[in-house]
Amino acid sequence: KLEEFLNFKHLKTSLKEAVLLDYYTAGFWWAKEMNFSLIQLSGFMDLLNFLLENLSDKHMTLGDNLKELGRAMAGIGETDSERGGDLNFFSIEQAKAVIDYL
């Protein structure tokens, strides 16, 4: 199903498509094993895509990409609504697990 969603047409002959399918599939199953809710699963998949785009499109270094991850995860668990980030649907423990996974 993920192959269809990603619209991969040349999976059997394209190493790039095979690697991307593996990347997203591994992330999806890890998030499922973490018992993430639907919104958390969607947010995690967006995060995987965001980090990959930083590497492939923006040619960020690993260090710069980790800084971006830190910015994206900043504010998780904060009670002040102005401080909370877009990923505030993760608990602090879940956010730590996401960082460890990545």
H/E element, 42: helix 38-56
* Structure confidence at residue 79 (pLDDT): 55
Provide the token pair at 3. 């192959």
For residues 79 and 58, give the distance between their C-alpha atoms in angstroms, rounded to a whole number. 33
How many angstroms separate the first and last alpha carbons of the chain?
23
Question: Model pTM?
Answer: 0.77
* Structure confidence at residue 15 (pLDDT): 81
Task: Give mean pLDDT in consecutive 10-residue pieces for the chain, a chain of 102 residues.
Answer: 73 80 92 95 91 88 86 69 63 89 90
* Structure confidence at residue 40 (pLDDT): 93
* Structure confidence at residue 34 (pLDDT): 97
Backbone angles phi, psi at 14, to 5 degrees: -110, 110
* Structure confidence at residue 48 (pLDDT): 92
